[in-house]
Amino acid sequence: MGKRDYAIILLACRLGLRCGDIKKLTKENFQWEQKQLVFVQSKTRTTLSLPITQDVGWAVIDYLRYGRPKVDSPYVFIRHLAPFLPFTEDNHLNKIISKYMKMAHIPMKKKKVGMHSLRHTLASLLLEIDTPLPVISDILGHVDTESTAVYLKVDIEKLKECPLDFQEDIVNE
């Protein structure tokens, strides 16, 4: 189960995959020769192609070889309690994150705990290293940059670089 959880967490925090997309991944989505992960996003219905980073690739391979129960399922990630079935539609994998936060003694009181928090963290980190917003949008699979602009609120330093011209607002009134 640990190998599965590790691979799932890496897919969320390194590639920004949504929980629903992680649950629907099949072996065919991993194009190992091209080092690409190609899938149709469940939310936008658009095809997304992302590079398989070395850490993500090895985590998925390790899980498939040594951690995944030997069952006939097209999905890469399955539940590890019998019956070994795919995750249900309403399972948002939040227990995975909660489990490891508790093990690491990370307080969860005022934090959003869930797979989406890892996706949000990736966007925030990309902003911190001056990744252009359109690139972040592409990585996260957003149809337009307006969806990605939500992540701007976390980068206070970048927001300080966007001063408002109050004189212009007063003149226009």
Q: What is the pLDDT of residues 65-114, one digit of tens each?
A: 999 999 999 999 999 888 888 888 877 788 888 888 888 887 777 666 67
Kindly state whether residue 12 falls inside one of the protein's structural domains. Answer: yes
Overall domain count for the chain: 1
pLDDT at 33: 96
pLDDT at residue 22, rounded to an integer? 93
Report if residue 48 sits inside a domain.
Answer: yes
Residue 154 in tokens: 């976390």
Which candidate in 43, 95, 153, 158 is catalytic?
A: 43
- Which CATH number characterizes residue 49's domain? 1.10.443.10
In this prediction the pTM is 0.77
Asked if 152 and 162 count as a contact pair (C-beta separation under 8 A), the reply is no
Residue 126 structural domain:
2-160
Active-site entry in 35, 79, 80, 116: 116
Q: For residue 104, is it within any domain?
A: yes
142 is catalytic: yes
Handedness of CA 67, 72, 74, 78 (dihedral sign): negative
Rounded to whole angstroms, the Cα distance separating 112 from 15 reads 19
Q: Among this protein's residues, is 80 annotated catalytic? A: no
* pLDDT computed for residue 111 by the predictor: 61
Catalytic-role residue among 14, 23, 119, 120: 119
| DSSP string across 91-158 | --SHHHHHHHHHHTT---TTS--SHHHHHHHHHHHHHHTT--HHHHHHHHT-SSHHHHGGGGGG-HHH
Q: Is residue 25, in this structure, part of any structural domain at all? A: yes
- Structural domain includes residue 46: yes
Domain-located, residue 170: no
Catalytic member of 63, 151, 158, 160: 151
In a domain, residue 172? The reply is: no
* Residue 155 in domain: yes
pLDDT at 4: 94
Q: How far apart are CA 32 and CA 29, in angstroms?
A: 9
- Which DSSP string corresponds to 18-80? -HHHHHT-BGGGEETTTTEEEEE-TTT--EEEEE--HHHHHHHHHHHHHTS-----SBS-B-S
Largest CA distance in the chain: 70
18 belongs to the catalytic site: yes
Return the SS3 of 86: strand
119 classed as catalytic:
yes
Which pLDDT value is given to residue 44? 82
**Distance (Å, whole) CA 11 – CA 79:** 17
Catalytic-role residue among 3, 4, 18, 23? 18
Give the model's pLDDT for residue 164: 58
Catalytic residue among 4, 24, 68, 142: 142
For the chain, which ranges sit under pLDDT 70? 110-113, 151-173
